[in-house]
Amino acid sequence: MPSPDLAARLLHRDDRVLVLDKPAGLPVHRGPRGGPSLEDWLPALAFGKKRLPQPAHRLDTDTAGCLVLGRTKPALAELGALFAGGLARKTYWAVVRGAPPAPEGVVDAPLLKHSTAKAGWRMLVDPAGQPARTEWRVLGSAGGLSWLELRPRTGRTHQLRVHCAHLGCPILGDPRYGAPSGDAACRGAPECDAGRLHLLARAIALPLDPPITAIAPPPPHMQAALAACGWREAA
């Protein structure tokens, strides 16, 4: 992907913490196969500090939105404790195919990593897995799509993607847990990009002193589908 101007994508900056609006498609960490990642552009976020900022939590490559970074060792340790303790309040938006069974609810379904030589690994709902809990509510719907607000209360790998699929409404553009791209999922939003994951880390609230809150705007590839479901961009 082209070199992103990450400094222009900061949602919050102080002497200890940064909150970045991470672009979709940018891995947070360099993978075993190499390629561009957030690590390549961390020097642009140092702002005079000798120590480069470091991510305090995970965000999938194809998920856009709020990513928290610590600028000092003490800040990173404090942030790590917040995320590990479930004290960081995370809010996500997703556009899904179909609709959940009610206007709001909770998915309480444990997740376990399964691997096969043929298909590789994926997370599955399994009673033997780790506890996983997601609160959800419908914000809008149209044309076979629904716009959901998701609040994960645990932080399992691919939790929101698996839980939405478990509800019967996989996230639009999810190649692993959803339907193939190019189907009729976008019939209510003819300009939407069904081939990209429609998942946004919309907001983060950190109970620090002083508290930090940040809100990320929807990325361009999600806007048509969101608009079809009732979202309107603020003036």
190 pLDDT above the threshold of 50: no
Give the model's pLDDT for residue 36: 87
- The mean per-residue pLDDT over the stretch 200-217 comes to 97
First-to-last alpha carbon distance for the chain, in angstroms, is 29
- The mean per-residue pLDDT over the stretch 50-56 comes to 96
Residue range of the domain that includes 216: 6-228
Of the candidates 147, 134, 159, 133, the one whose C-alpha atom is nearest the C-alpha of residue 103 is 147
Query: What does the DSSP 8-state code read for residue 174?
Result: -
Q: Say if residues 62 and 158 touch (Cβ distance below 8 Å).
A: no
184 pLDDT above the threshold of 70: no
235 assigned to some structural domain: no
1 assigned to some structural domain: no
The burial of 166, by beta-carbon neighbours within 10 Å (0-12 exposed, 13-18 middle, 19 or more buried), is given as middle
pLDDT grade for 118, boundaries at 50, 70 and 90: confident
Give the model's pLDDT for residue 2: 58
233 assigned to some structural domain: no
pLDDT grade for 183, boundaries at 50, 70 and 90: very low
Q: Say if residues 137 and 103 touch (Cβ distance below 8 Å).
A: yes
230: tokens are 């009732």
Could you give the CA distance from residue 171 to residue 98 in angstroms, rounded to a whole number?
9
Q: Say if residues 92 and 151 touch (Cβ distance below 8 Å).
A: yes
Q: What total number of domains does the chain contain?
A: 1
- The mean per-residue pLDDT over the stretch 220-228 comes to 96
180 pLDDT above the threshold of 80: no
Bridge-partner residues for 166, per DSSP? Answer: none
User: Can you give the CATH number for the domain in which 152 is found?
Assistant: 3.30.2350.10
Q: Which residues are catalytic?
A: 60
171 pLDDT above the threshold of 80: yes
189 pLDDT above the threshold of 60: no
- Residue-wise pLDDT for 120-169, tens only, equals 788 999 999 999 999 999 999 999 999 999 999 999 999 999 999 999 99
Query: What does the DSSP 8-state code read for residue 171?
Result: B
Q: What is the residue-averaged pLDDT of the chain?
A: 91
Give the model's pLDDT for residue 146: 97
108 assigned to some structural domain: yes
17 assigned to some structural domain: yes
234 assigned to some structural domain: no
Q: Which residue has the higher pLDDT, 17 or 175?
A: 17
Q: Using DSSP bridges, classify how beta strands 17-22 and 133-142 pair: parallel, antiparallel or unpaired.
A: unpaired
